[in-house]
Structure 1
Amino acid sequence: MFGNLKKKLSSAIQEGLVISESLQQQYRQRVSSGNSGSSQASGLTTPTSPLGLNESLSSSRSSNLSLSAPFQLTDGVPSHLNVAAGCSLLAKYEDDWQQIHGANEENADKAAEIATQISGVQQKASNQRRIVSELNSSLLGIPTLVVQLQASLKILQSLEQMGQELEVELEKLEDLCEECELQEFILEQQFQLSRHKQRKLNELEQYRQQVASKHQSKIQDQEQKLLKLQRERQAVFDDAFRGDMEEYKQHGQLTKIQTNSNSLHLSQLLLYPASPPKFPYPFLDFELMGAVGSALKSPIVDMSTKQAKFVENTITSNKVVIFSKSYCPYCTMAKEPFRKLNVEAHIIELDGNPDGNEIQAVLGEITGARTVPRVFIDGKFVGGGTDIKRMFETGALQKYFQ
């Protein structure tokens, strides 16, 4: 629409310019023909005007010539002619032309301004049209966008659900990690406890061995002291025996020795009164030696007691019997070979038995020694800890179980 209006204005301006150009040309022709027509005859025609004034002037001129009397010429111009009428008309035409020319220029400027405004409006309209087109295309894409948003919403919901599930799984993983750490800590503590227990057992075993070695050394020292004391006593007894023999040879009888009841009995000096060491001179008659002989005579263990019967029943009813004490390293030495041979041995710990001393005295009467361990196989005494170890190393112990 604005394009058509612009074209019409441009065509109107062009037509106005063409009209103004034609008016200028006619004015110039009229001026040039007026100067030449004043000297010519009256029969010639007057210059024509673009507005048809020649016809009016010729009609008025003919009427004036027909009505009036014969006229006179002044300077070759009839007196009834108004020579200035053409100038006024020309001036009027010039003024009109100037007004028209100014209006045309003003119209041209306004048309240029309007064309500029039209161009701006056209550009704005083009921008608006482009924006409207983009808006239309965007509006056309709204259903697809809504579908995509719904799909995105579903994806977000699924992601939220997966996030919750992941959080739950992470909590389970954390609990599992804590349980694993706790298990590792428990295992580490158990390992440390087992190491500590093993170390303490090793220390206890070393202490037992030290105590056993000290005890064995003390026993050996005590036995040496007893042996020395017995040798001293033997020398005293030998002297007394020789004196008694001399007295017997001289008088034929022995003088009875009177003993004081408040005096210290010789048996009170012995460490083990129930099982004293055997006297090295078995051929001596203790009845003839009086008080000294009665002190040196070994007491006899009663084998009819319940302890003796217990020992006898235990030895006969079990294939392997070990009489031991829990703290003795030699007892541990005696038990180890049977454990390696997978042989079940009947073990009696004397230190935990209230009748341990009596049982040990019975064992001393049977085996000839009160020391432990005392090992019996098939009702027969085979030895102590060192003996069992030596038999295991030589293979003699395995023969009992083939």
Structure 2
Amino acid sequence: MKLGGRLQAAIEVLEEVEGRKRPVAEALKDWGRNHRFAGSGDRSAIGNIVYDSLRSRASHAWKMGEETPRALALATMAFDWNKDVEALQALIADDNHAPAPLSDAEIAAIQAKSMKDAPFWVRGDIPEWLEASFMEAFEEDALLEARAFSQRPPVDIRVNRLKTSIEKVEKELSRFNPRRTALGKDCLRFPAGKGDSRQPNIQGDPAFRKGFYEVQDEGSQIVSSLIYPRPGEQVLDYCAGGGGKTLAMAAQMENKGQIYAYDADASRLAPIVDRLTRAGVRNAQTRTPNDGALDDLLGRMDRVVVDAPCTGTGTWRRRPETKWKLTEEQLGKRVEEQQLALAQARQFVRPGGYLVYITCSVLAAENEDQIYHFIENNPDFELVSAGEVWQDLYGFDAPKPWSSDMMSVTLTPASTQTDGFFFSVLERRPE
């Protein structure tokens, strides 16, 4: 396919996403299934146009003067892929499968590139109702932090030290030009490209099937390290999901001690068994939700990890459609779920043990506010400094997380070049 045909396909996918409220990944998969003539390069390029359009939806719509799928896709080509009017007109004229020619209004909008009088939320490409939250949370850096969520994310992998070393995986994947990162000592990164560039098929490599690494954002790797599980400890991963942090902790614990992976939704635990086997993990077991499933763990755990259900604002780079679907009602529901998860998880922490609270969100309502609410209602717990562990692990010269006092840690694309994560630790007072 030529670029003009790829552009038209992206518009069709965006129409499907907007018109039928479908997840982007699902709409792209269906488009590929219905257009089998399209090669992997075509599908990748179409996906890039769609995701880039959604990452900068607000600013693109402002510049174009409308928010139609066509306007968003044209804006992506013009403002993100650096195609001027002449280049756009040429690629449209060169392909019978391209969109209709540019209108006079579209030409004027593309040439103007105007952001005059655009409000903060448009310039930052965030939902309007979250403008105050971002400005309060990030103060003078709010626009920089917001705009960073509109950039393409890299692909990161965590090398599994139970089976290999970062040097060996680096050599194994050398044809893909992996890079070391500033913080994650087991992390290799494949930076995001521009335009129609493709990311390597990391999960198709034999080294992945051997369990030498897992695909995991560096931010998730960092918060897993900050949990600081020691060999021989008893750890409950209370909201384990697919098991990414369980796997990371198992490696840190050198397969010694025990991790109990639990999730209130048994379906989310489904992938973990195969992942544990592939990674060579021997110190983890799953607990499915049923009456009394965790009774034997009450008051015994050295560390209880609550990777809480959240709005996912920290993953907006990877799932930009969720940015525009998020509502105040959904945020309120997540806050309630987080409070319930903390209230349930606390009972498994032994005196002197730690309750670790993590979200992939950058909203204070899900992060700091939840911690203060918990402490007020649970005086037998106290907040301890996550910043001290950060300094022990990463020193003073590495990129600093966004944080006002380093009691808790907030990672962001702008500050640490990772997805957004919040990390906090509460110690149960010894009896």
- The structure with the largest helix share of the pair is 1
> Which gives a bigger RCO, structure 1 or 2 (Cα 8 Å, sep 6+)?
2
TM-score > 0.5 by shorter chain:
no
Larger Rg computed on CA atoms: 1
Specify the TM-score bucket, using the shorter chain as the normaliser: under 0.3
What TM-score comes out, normalization by structure 1 length? 0.17
